[in-house]
Homo-oligomer: A and B are copies of this chain.
């Protein structure tokens, strides 16, 4: 899910931008598979086949690099989801679109999701952590707004929107713990079956049985 957006500070043309994009992708994979604490800038430089000095030229330290990866990933996820739900014309359809689009983003780059998910457990500085939580909240608020809208419109029962959002997000976040790309179902297919249960459980009696 690492986008090809150029790194802040890299302004000397497409070659440098491509190089930074590659670096971010390699670093993201290492952070996801070895954890933040288990990955050093030396590991990333070795994997990218560049010198540590060249890596330092782009990123002053490991936390700055990690921050940029997390920020881009969450930005991509949030933008994709926001654009997708604009075309949905009911709250249940919006919740479904939020979840399936997220599942697709997950499937396209599970490492990005794992790196983001592990971030909350890493020894990140307070300021960076606050910035990341703010970005994640923006994503989560999109979902919560769909739930609130559905309750107001009488499409959903009067559930707790925050907890219902947690329930839905738990199913996405737990994919990283068990889903295998070689499994019989894609993330989208898994989430579709979950939604079949959860959306039915949210239906107000007024909105009828689907």
Contacts and interface: CB of A to CB of B under 8 A. Distances in A.
A167 B167 CA distance: 9
Contacts of A159: 193, 196-197
Contact of A167 (B37, B173, B197, B205): B197
Looking at A198, A200, A201, the one whose CB has the most chain B CB atoms below 10 A away is: A201
A207 to B, nearest CB: 13
Contact of A120 (B177, B199, B201, B205): B177
A139 to B, nearest CB: 14
Main secondary structure of the interface of A (DSSP, over half): helix
A68 interface: no
Count of chain copies: 2
Contact of A173 (B37, B160, B177, B205): B177
A190 interface: yes
Interface string A162-177: 0110110111011001
Interface of A: 37-38, 117, 120, 159-160, 163-164, 166-167, 169-171, 173-174, 177-178, 185, 190, 193-194, 196-202, 205, 209
A29 to B, nearest CB: 16
A189 to B, nearest CB: 9
Given A171-B170, A198-B201, A199-B201, A190 B163 contact: yes
Given A117-B177, A163-B190, A167-B193, 10 more contacts: A159-B193, A160-B193, A163-B185, A163-B194, A167-B171, A173-B177, A196-B201, A198-B201, A199-B201, A200-B200
A170 B178 CA distance: 10
